[in-house]
Amino acid sequence: DGGITQSPKYLFRKEGQNVTLSCEQNLNHDAMYWYRQDPGQGLRLIYYSQIVNDFQKGDIAEGYSVSREKKESFPLTVTSAQKNPTAFYLCASSINPSGPYNEQFFGPGTRLTVL
Amino acid sequence: AQSVAQPEDQVNVAEGNPLTVKCTYSVSGNPYLFWYVQYPNRGLQFLLKYITGDNLVKGSYGFEAEFNKSQTSFHLKKPSALVSDSALYFCAVFSGGYNKLIFGAGTRLAVHP
């Protein structure tokens, strides 16, 4: 988990609220990613960013939004449009977004629960 | 379509015995394969990767994986399991066309004393 921090560790949201999950990295990596993890389904890609001020939708982007104003930060907002947001959210980064040689490094995760 | 399959939801092994966690893949072009481990309520940790070269790849914590092109497999192995190896293991393939990692559903490894 070193080099990538996520906060908060646990987050509770009431229905209809937007919440923002923080992800910061000090690895000087160009690419950053957000995944959602549900039991038995592995990791699903929400959004990714290869460079500052640019990002692309992943497989399950609906109900989520991101920004990439700084290289080290990639916050994820879970909006009220996300119908089932309760999950474990993982942020990751990698040196070269286009190269298959570079593994992704993961943060410790944020567990979001809708009350 | 690019995909990764981990056919076993759970693998049980006695401490000291060898372990194998299976992974098969489907990808167009050259496969770039990864194994990650996840401990409870933690992020994923990188174990090893196959890019090219020797089919037997050695990684962290005594793990290794064997790339088999004809069987499109990349099974994770360890000669002698430890109780502390108990965790959730993910296989992943880099999809160049989509510029992202595709993960399998994960296999839970339980090592019993």
Residues B43, A48: C-beta atoms closer than 8 Å: no
Beta carbons within 10 angstroms of residue A8's beta carbon: 12
Residues A101, B32: C-beta atoms closer than 8 Å: yes
Tokens of B35: 């194994």
Q: Is B10 within 8 Å of B68 (Cβ atoms)? A: no
Q: B104: helix, coil or strand?
A: coil
Residues B94, A48: C-beta atoms closer than 8 Å: no
pLDDT at B96: 67
Q: Is B96's Cβ below 8 Å from some Cβ in A?
A: yes
pLDDT bracket for residue B21 (50, 70, 90): very high
When scoring A7, A30, A43 by the number of chain B Cβ atoms within 10 A, the one with the most, hence best to mutate, is A43
Residue type, B36: Y
Report pLDDT digits (tens) over A41-67: 789 999 999 899 999 999 999 999 999
CA distance A47 to A36: 10
Tokens of B104: 């399998």
When scoring B99, B102, B107, B108 by the number of chain A Cβ atoms within 10 A, the one with the most, hence best to mutate, is B99
- The answer to whether residue B27 scores a pLDDT higher than 90 is no
Q: Which residues of B touch A102 (CB under 8 A)?
A: none
pLDDT bracket for residue B16 (50, 70, 90): very high
pLDDT at B98: 61
User: By C-alpha distance, which of A6, A19, A7 is closest to A113?
Assistant: A19
Q: Is A27 within 8 Å of A105 (Cβ atoms)? A: yes
Report pLDDT digits (tens) over B57-111: 999 999 999 999 999 999 999 999 999 999 999 999 987 666 688 899 999 999 9
pLDDT at A2: 54
For B56-88, b/e burial (b = at least 16 CB within 10 A) is: ebebeeebbbbbeeeeebbbbebeebeeebbbb
- Which residue, chain included where needed, has tokens 């790339």? B67
pLDDT at B34: 95
Q: To the nearest 5 percent, what fractions of chain A are helix, strand and coil?
A: 0, 50, 50
For chain A of 115 residues, list the mean pLDDT of each consecutive stretch of 10: 86 91 95 91 91 93 97 96 92 79 89 91
**C-alpha distances out from residue B71 to B67, B68, B74, Å:** 9, 6, 9
pLDDT at B52: 84
CA distance A84 to B15: 39
Q: Is B60's Cβ below 8 Å from some Cβ in A?
A: no
Q: What are phi and psi of A86, to 5 degrees?
A: -65, 115
- Which residue, chain included where needed, has tokens 């309520």? B41
Tokens of B108: 């839970």
